[in-house]
Amino acid sequence: MASHARLAVDRATEPAVPVIAATKRPDGDIRPFSRPLTSRLTRAGRRRKGEAHRLGAKVGEVQNVSGLESDRPARRRARRSLPGAFETTRNLRRALAPVPLSALELRAHQERQRHRLLPLFRFLTLLGAATYLGFLGWDYLLGGWDGVLAALPARLGVTLAILGVWLVAHHPRFVPHWPFLWSGLIVIVTCGTSLVMAIAPDGFEKGVPGLLFAAAANVLVAPLFWLAILNYVLIGIVGLAALALLGAPAAALGNAAYFLVTFGLLFSLVSYWADQARRRNLLLEQSLELEQARRDALLDAMLPAGIAERLKAGETPIADAAPAASIVFVDVVGYSRLTRELPPEALVDLLEQAFAVLDFLAGEHGLTKIKTIGDAYVAAAGVADAVEAGPAEAVAFALAARHALRALGGRLGYDLDVHAGVATGPVTAGVIGEHRPQFDLWGQTVNNASRLQAAAPAGAIQLDGPTAAAVGARFTLQHQGPTVYRGIGEIDVWRIAD
């Protein structure tokens, strides 16, 4: 017993050793693997070794078949945790990527920039004159009154030249060529600033603000990238040439060269970025304009012109009261029979030709098309764009529709005829629907016209009492007498005499 107890104590105090086991691979090879006896990781923890490392587990507490823990997941997490470095680089490359334009798009880009930047050019020109004259305060701070008197001729001369360019830019003859006026202004400012830098005490410090203002303003105003680069080249060449001709010291010439080259490169990069951004805006605006044109064309096709314009202007809701509108229902007789006899393509083609004829006739008589319901065509006078038309135009349209559809049927080899109903009275007109707006009419007058058309025999055009009273002197009518319609009541029915 004592020996067994001593053996148990020895086993409890000895360090943990791996127990060697073996596993048989599919190819028959027997390879040992080890598993620690003292591992405190749970089964889930052993499956998620990467999480155990994140929690601070020591190397050796987690073992796998190969005996080594891969750090690939940790590297992936480290890359994902970088503070936006990759995203910033990607955005910078996207911003500096060239935006190619076709010849037509490039011409539109140039014209648009000239038109949009002209007011900014005029404003910056006036601001530049005031700023350049205000640099006399900077001259006073650096050189006192002696510095002001030394720089005053150059300051005044350049200011007057800038004001002259501002006045010329308002003349209609020079407006299309204002970018070249801007280049001339850049040369004037550069020459004046170089003169100050050459002859005034501490001239370099006094001239730097003028060149910096010209370079910064060039980023905003130059409508095209190549013009901006040209202006920066002019600033560098003219500035250095003026300093050399005026006998500037070598130190001032070197400082000016370093300044002009450095800022020229920097602002050239900014100008390139601005030009590419303007090109992207052009393509985006053209896309938006194309979508807007498609939307407007769709609205024009779906709605009367006046109603479509009101809807484009943002008016909502659109609802009008028409006290004396004439509603016309024209229906193709026998169309249900044709649906059983004709194939779908021929049926749709026939209906399309018939409605195209009715659209033309409605426009000829000053009526507004309201909608189509199956093989029925609905038009109106006295509403929307047809406010000038009345009952006489509505009846004339119905007669012309009957004659035209009979002729169309004879030409296509079909026996076509119509029956129509015309009613006059008050209606409510408006637009309903948000995604598919539709102009429609409501009221008892609409119901009366529909019932008159449905009850008319083939080839007949039926009118109600108000319509007959309005057109009796122009057309030959037959009085059919009062007729009671279910759900509507009594209507005094008249018919156009053949």
The share of the chain scoring above pLDDT 90, in percent, equals 19
Q: Residue 14 falls within a domain, yes or no?
A: no
Say yes or no: 365 and 249 in one domain.
Answer: no
Q: Residue 36 falls within a domain, yes or no?
A: no
The closest of 389, 381, 362 to 449, measured between CA atoms, is 381
Burial 194-214 (b: 16+ CB within 10 A, else e): bbbbbebeebbbbbbbbbebb
The pLDDT tens digits of the residues spanning 82-136 come to: 455 545 566 556 655 677 777 777 777 777 777 777 777 778 778 777 877 777 7
48: confidence class by pLDDT, cuts 50, 70, 90:
very low
Say yes or no: 274 and 323 in one domain.
Answer: no
CATH number assigned to the domain comprising residue 372: 3.30.70.1230
Range of the domain at 188: 106-289
Say yes or no: 272 and 327 in one domain.
Answer: no
181, 165 contact by CB (below 8 A): yes
Q: Residue 444 falls within a domain, yes or no?
A: yes
Beta bridge partners, 35, equal: 19
Written as one string, the DSSP assignment of 141-167 is HHHHHHHHHHHHHHHHHHHHHHHHHHH
* pTM greater than 0.85 (yes/no): no
Q: Residue 259 falls within a domain, yes or no?
A: yes
Tell me the C-alpha distance between 118 and 319, whole Å: 43
The pLDDT tens digits of the residues spanning 232-275 come to: 777 777 777 777 776 767 777 777 777 777 777 777 777 777 77
Say yes or no: 285 and 322 in one domain.
Answer: no
Average pLDDT value for the chain:
75
DSSP state of 15: P
Residue 284, H or E segment: helix 250-302
Beta bridge partners, 462, equal: 421, 495
Say yes or no: 280 and 349 in one domain.
Answer: no
Say yes or no: 273 and 327 in one domain.
Answer: no
DSSP state of 79: H
Say yes or no: 255 and 360 in one domain.
Answer: no
Provide the pLDDT for residue 392.
93
Residue finishing a domain among 270, 289, 308: 289
The alpha carbon of 112 is separated from its chain's Cα centroid by a whole number of angstroms, namely 17
Say yes or no: 282 and 241 in one domain.
Answer: yes
463: confidence class by pLDDT, cuts 50, 70, 90:
very high
Residue finishing a domain among 289, 310, 328: 289
Q: Residue 65 falls within a domain, yes or no?
A: no
Cα-Cα-Cα-Cα dihedral sign, residues 207, 192, 260, 268: positive
Of residues 448 and 138, more confidence is placed in 448
Q: 250-302 vs 178-199: helix axis angle to the nearest 10?
A: 160
pLDDT exceeds 90 at position 381: yes
Say yes or no: 282 and 322 in one domain.
Answer: no
| Size of the chain, expressed as the number of residues it contains | 498
Q: What is the largest CA-CA distance in the chain?
A: 138
Number of domains, the chain: 2
Say yes or no: 323 and 259 in one domain.
Answer: no
The pLDDT tens digits of the residues spanning 156-178 come to: 877 887 788 778 777 777 777 66
The pLDDT tens digits of the residues spanning 300-342 come to: 888 888 888 888 888 888 888 999 999 999 998 878 788 888 8
> Where is average pLDDT lowest: 29-33, 125-129, 242-246, 367-371?
29-33
Q: Where are the alpha helices (DSSP H) in 48-177?
A: 49-54, 72-80, 85-96, 103-168
Provide the pLDDT for residue 331.
92
Identity of the highest mean pLDDT range in 123-132, 444-453, 488-497: 444-453
Q: Residue 111 falls within a domain, yes or no?
A: yes
Say yes or no: 242 and 285 in one domain.
Answer: yes
DSSP state of 386: G
Provide the pLDDT for residue 73.
56
Say yes or no: 394 and 284 in one domain.
Answer: no
The residue-averaged pLDDT of 461-490 equals 89
Q: Residue 77 falls within a domain, yes or no?
A: no
446: confidence class by pLDDT, cuts 50, 70, 90:
very high
